[in-house]
Structure 1
Amino acid sequence: MAKVEAAYRKGPDSKLTIDKCFYASLAQGKAKRTLVDKVSIPLRSGKAWKVPAGHVFRVLVPEGPQVGDFNMWNQHDPREKMWASRTRQLQSAHVSTFDRIWSTLPFLRPMVTIIDDTLADYGQDEEGGRVHDLLGTRCDPYVNHLLTGEDFDFHCHSNLVRAVQPFGLTEFDVHDVLNIFQCTGLNEDDQYFMKACPAKKGDYLEFFAEIDLLCALSCCPGGDLSVDLWGPDAKDPLSTCHPLEVEIYQLEESALEGWQTPSSPSYQGGHGLQAPTIDWQARKNAIKG
């Protein structure tokens, strides 16, 4: 079967083409970095944190396999947030090193660039599974009640809601996620499937912050997803749950020489909308008549 070209293609001068040498130079061991903060996320909970532009943050597995559901916003304007569906189109449905996460309209710019991934070599397994997916979204208490008729407050959606409330955000700000360390794909019926997380102690996914960020991460109550969450074989996966950690690093100033925060496209078209024109003479004549 002939390969079908991607709809959104990278050309030599495309905005989708990035300087891989620059981003590779920011990885551990290639540029001096200083650990400035660490966020511990206990199992079945969520946390939010800030990252200044030009810093690096790493999501890592400190004990055992664990999936994390990730959201982010512009720290200064939460209307700008990560856009999972556009990122799927511009990058891919599963992301890794040198992929970027893009923001919503009307901003449409890279929020982060992935600069390191210890699971990059996982590729695609025999069942079509890949890691770090943008295909699915967070588990939530609404779909849980829909499928089981029961209330359970510890889903990724709920964890993210609790995490962002101290920063002035609400449930309406929580959005589709990047499923970090999660192995997923589409089966022969074009249906979404999840597999056991392949991450091991010490694995990580590392991001470079292109803008000032507010980030949030849920330590998924489904653990490593090796246990069915719904259906006839469903049971509580608590035994498969582990914590997650986030490390935030400041890079030496010289490492960022020539870099600047990405700008939004300069579209000024106004969507073809025009202010109504008023025929004042016709109105005046109508009044007189």
Structure 2
Amino acid sequence: MNAAIAACESTLKATFGDAPRVAVVLGSGWAAASERLTDVQRISYADLPGWPLPKVEGHVNELVVGTTAGGARVAMLRGRAHTYESGDCTGMAAPIRSLKAWGVKSVVLTNASGSLRAANPPGSLVLISDHLNAPQRSPLVGLSGSDRFCDMSAAYDPELRAVAKALAAEKGQPLNEGVYCWALGPQFETPAEIRMFAAWGADAVGMSTVPDTILARHAGLRVACLALITNMAAGLSDEALTHALTLKEAKASGENAADFLSAYLDRLAVLPSLQ
């Protein structure tokens, strides 16, 4: 463990005590989940060595620890680094490695995505089952020895996905599984690119998540991912794609997404394999 991660671990323990078993990275549209927590404690990313300070609208750059309505103690990261901000895909390395060092067992990644399938219209939730790394960039580049290699054959944990699917069935919440395609951005994709991604098997597209997943799996964390669909991808509707559109639809659908996420975290908190 390097000095920065050790310092973060020490600060997290001093601030919050023992780590919760599950942490969440909140993407655009998911902030309402953190606003529902009680007994909340906070720390700014600026107080944690190596943690990023993203400047994307909708990201607050703080770690909060609190309790869900169902009694689950969780950590939530309100902000993530995107590769398009700097060209560096290692921006979430310190947060994710700090969570692991602190004692977190699993991370739930969330994002706002464009849909490539009519079955997943704006406002719907998609449970990510796999991903496509379209830029073919890795946050593990530069590591040495056998430690650099990481198995990604089950990147999105089958048991954690099964819990989400069972919960959705009980709640009557539509939740299709799908493959997420990471596009570097910050420009939105062209219609030709979307046709290519669809031919590859993608169901959703966005500008985050994949580097986070690689880092989390490399650290030994179990990963689940929920995507909030905010728009149909380029060429699949007449609507011009803008970040403002993404935030508008995310806000409109965010309460339902937060409801499901909160209930999901309650289920994960009592999952025997995460104890």
Instruction: Assess same fold via TM > 0.5.
Output: no
Larger Rg: 1
What TM-score comes out, normalization by structure 1 length? 0.28
Structure holding more helix per residue? 2
Flag the structure with more relative contact order, 1 or 2, with Cα contacts below 8 A and sequence separation at least 6.
1
Structure holding more strand per residue? 1
